[in-house]
Amino acid sequence: MQFTKMHGIGNDYVYVNCFEQSVEQPEKLAVAISDRHFGVGSDGLILICPSQQANVRMRMFNPDGSEAQMCGNAIRCVAKYAYEHGLSAENPMKIETGNGILTIELTIENDKVAAARVNMGQPILEASKIPMAIDDTQAINYQIEIVGLVMSITCVSMGNPHAIFFVDDVANIAIEKLGPKIENHLLFPQRTNVHWVQVLGRDELTMRTWERGAGVTLACGTGASAVCVAGVLTERTDRQILAHLPGGDLQLEWSASDNCVYMTGPATEVFTGTWPDA
């Protein structure tokens, strides 16, 4: 099986062109190929497939084999791959995901995709649809107890669930300890992604991520989109922000005109290879 390694500001995945080949058991392949010691090493597996509704379809599998709805960094890479490898010349490009069909505007330089602006869609704020096991309509500055600590949490779905904590210093957070406990908390029947955010100003912040099914990652596009929304909901930030993630920066805007979140960032192709066991 031929594959391509790509990343969006360090959020790295193995991509397979399913226009030309098939993957019979993607759940098992995701576990094996994502292993950073015995596999290629990645935050998961992405299948780039034909679509009857859009230009291409993206399927995403976490390193634990679970299938996820969407990834903002991965969808930029899918658009770059599709454009540069001749799967679609459309710009804007429409990509089918587990969170519906999303539109991506490509910045082209010398016939290459230098950056992509993704319409991430409208955030879901209803607690029951995130989903969360609470009676409240929304979870904005909601109090939660973890390892004996009571913390304030704001939750948003961008097609997948996100739990956001605003803190004074993200560098001092024990992500490896807190991340799995929050991901698997009874509040979240489908588990959740977790983010810690330090606000630097009305238009700038720093964040760190524990990703559902993957653990600590260098970046999370849907997470950064959710953080943009949470900053506005808690009156900490404006609607347009620059987010600093461990792997790089993303520009976010929660548009007041259409209620959609727009994310802009780069996509990078690293190398191609052959996987022998698929």
Catalytic status, residue 77: no
Residue 80 neighbours by CB under 8 Å, 6+ apart = 6, 106, 112, 113, 116, 267, 269
Residue from 49, 77, 155, 220 carrying the catalytic annotation: 220
Catalytic status, residue 71: yes
Angle CA 232–235–241, to nearest 5: 45
> What is the rounded radius of gyration, in angstroms, for the C-alpha atoms of the chain?
18
| Dihedral sign (CA 117, 68, 229, 126) | positive
Pair of tokens at residue 258: 């259409």
Residue from 49, 71, 77, 228 carrying the catalytic annotation: 71
The closest of 251, 247, 249, 248 to 237, measured between CA atoms, is 251
The closest of 2, 25, 153 to 85, measured between CA atoms, is 2
Residues 118 and 108 sit within 8 Å (Cβ to Cβ): no
Q: How far apart are the C-alpha atoms of 145 and 273, rounded to whole Å? A: 46
- Which residues belong to the active site? 71, 220
